[in-house]
Each structure stands twice: as structure tokens, then as C-alpha cells.
């Protein structure tokens, strides 16, 4: 099945200069990148992204981690991979959530670590199923930032002030 999946290179991946390495690994999937950007994870977006974990003892630290507050690097790289079985292919290369349990050849197994607090600092995020992928992609991207049409859109007229080059 043709699918799309969200990948985030988390702030630890960026500060440790792992971007090239991670993208090279993911290119083994032969999937297509249909959107990509470097952006800040605000508290709101981080909390929405991990809404299913609200109430966990590590939730607050996890939100700080995604925001980049644990690494002095307040940005993430967000990408959408698209193609046959995209979700499983990317998850396979990403590896298990716990970097100590992840296959040593996976991205998390190679580069992840567990903080002394117990938080898994696992370098990347990848969507776990089609519903989550849709929710996450719509959280991180607007339709016009994606080069193909993956979900239905509607036209909305908005009066907005934008910045332009002066
Ligand atoms: P989760 O959505 O369960 O896993 P995944 O990222 O593999 O989809 O967890 C989200 C993040 O929360 C995970 O990448 C790292 C962190 N986390 C911990 O630090 N400790 C834990 O025990 C769990 C379950 C997650």
C-alpha cells in the first residue's frame, strides 16, 4: 500500500551532526521525500505531537527534549517519506523506542542513548501507523508545503500579513 509517514530528526540528532547519516540510512528504503523543513517545536506542537503520553512520568522532560531545551539546539528537521509500505519500512530502519533494545544496526540502536533520568534520547521519530501518520503530518505541515496531494484539502480565504524580503 502506498503510504506517507512523518520523520523527525530530533534536536540531539541535529546537534550531533547525524542528519546526513540518518538521511543516508533512510534512503535505503527507496522512498521519496515529498516535504522537508527545519523548524522549531513549540511547546504546543510538542505537547500535541506526544499527546498520547500525557500523564506519563517522563512527559514533561520528553516535551523539553523535543523542544530542544535539553540540547541547546531548538530545532528539529521534519520530513515526509512517501511510497510503498512507507510506515513499516521507516520504522524498521528506525528501530525500537528504547535504544538499548533497538537492533544495533538501526538508527536508534546506533545513535540513541538513555539519559540518567531514564528518558530515551532516541534521535528520530517515525509515525507508527496510518492514523498517527495523518495526525502528525497535519500537525507539522500545511498542504502547500507538500509537493503531492496526500490528504483531501479545501480552499480557505484568509487575510494574512506575511513577511517578505525588503
Ligand atoms: P512512543 O510514542 O511510545 O514510542 P515511539 O517514539 O517509538 O513511537 O514514545 C515517544 C517517545 O517517548 C519515545 O521516542 C521516547 C520517549 N519514551 C521514553 O523516554 N520512555 C519510555 O518509556 C517511552 C515509552 C517513551
Task: Give yes or no: 125 in active site.
Answer: yes
Site to probe by mutation for ligand 1, drawn from 48, 65, 97 as the one with most ligand atoms within 8 Å of Cβ, is 97
Cell of 2: 502506498
For 24-77, how does the pLDDT look when each residue is reduced to its tens digit (9 = 90+)? 999 999 999 999 999 999 999 999 999 999 999 999 999 999 999 999 889 999
CA angle 43, 51, 134 (to 5 degrees): 100
For residue 99, the model assigns a pLDDT of 98
State the pLDDT confidence band at 164, using cuts at 50, 70 and 90: very high
Q: Is 65 near ligand 1, meaning CB less than 6 Å away?
A: no
Query: What is the domain partition of the chain in residue ranges?
Result: 2-145
Average pLDDT, the chain: 97
CB 107 within 8 A of CB 53: no
- CATH assignment, 2-145: 3.30.70.141
Whole-number Å distance between alpha carbons of 41 and 30? 28
State the pLDDT confidence band at 144, using cuts at 50, 70 and 90: very high
40-61 burial, b if ≥16 CB within 10 A, otherwise e?
ebeeebbbebbeeeeeeeeeeb
The SS3 of residue 50 is coil
For 89-130, how does the pLDDT look when each residue is reduced to its tens digit (9 = 90+)? 999 999 999 999 999 999 999 999 999 999 999 999 999 999
For residue 72, the model assigns a pLDDT of 87
For residue 50, the model assigns a pLDDT of 98
Amino acid at each position: 500500500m502506498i503510504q506517507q509517514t512523518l520523520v523527525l530528526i530530533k534536536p540531539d540528532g541535529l546537534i550531533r551532526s547525524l542528519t546526513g547519516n540518518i538521511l543516508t540510512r533512510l534512503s535505503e528504503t527507496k522512498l521519496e521525500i515529498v516535504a522537508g523543513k527545519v523548524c522549531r517545536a513549540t511547546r504546543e506542537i510538542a505537547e500535541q505531537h506526544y499527546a498520547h503520553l500525557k500523564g506519563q512520568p517522563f512527559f514533561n522532560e520528553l516535551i523539553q527534549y523535543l523542544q530542544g531545551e535539553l540540547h541547546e539546539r531548538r530545532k528539529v528537521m521534519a520530513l515526509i517519506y512517501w511510497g510503498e509500505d512507507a510506515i513499516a519500512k521507516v520504522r524498521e530502519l528506525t528501530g525500537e523506542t528504547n535504544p538499548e533494545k533497538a537492533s544495533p544496526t538501526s538508527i536508534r540502536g546506533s545513535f540513541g542513548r538513555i539519559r540518567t533520568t531514564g528518558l530515551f534520547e532516541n534521535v528520530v521519530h517515525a509515525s507508527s501507523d496510518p492514523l498517527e501518520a495523518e495526525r502528525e503530518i497535519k500537525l507539522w505541515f500545511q498542504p502547500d508545503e507538500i509537493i503531492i496531494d496526500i490528504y483531501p484539502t479545501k480552499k480557505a480565504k484568509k487575510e494574512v500579513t506575511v513577511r517578505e524580503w525588503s
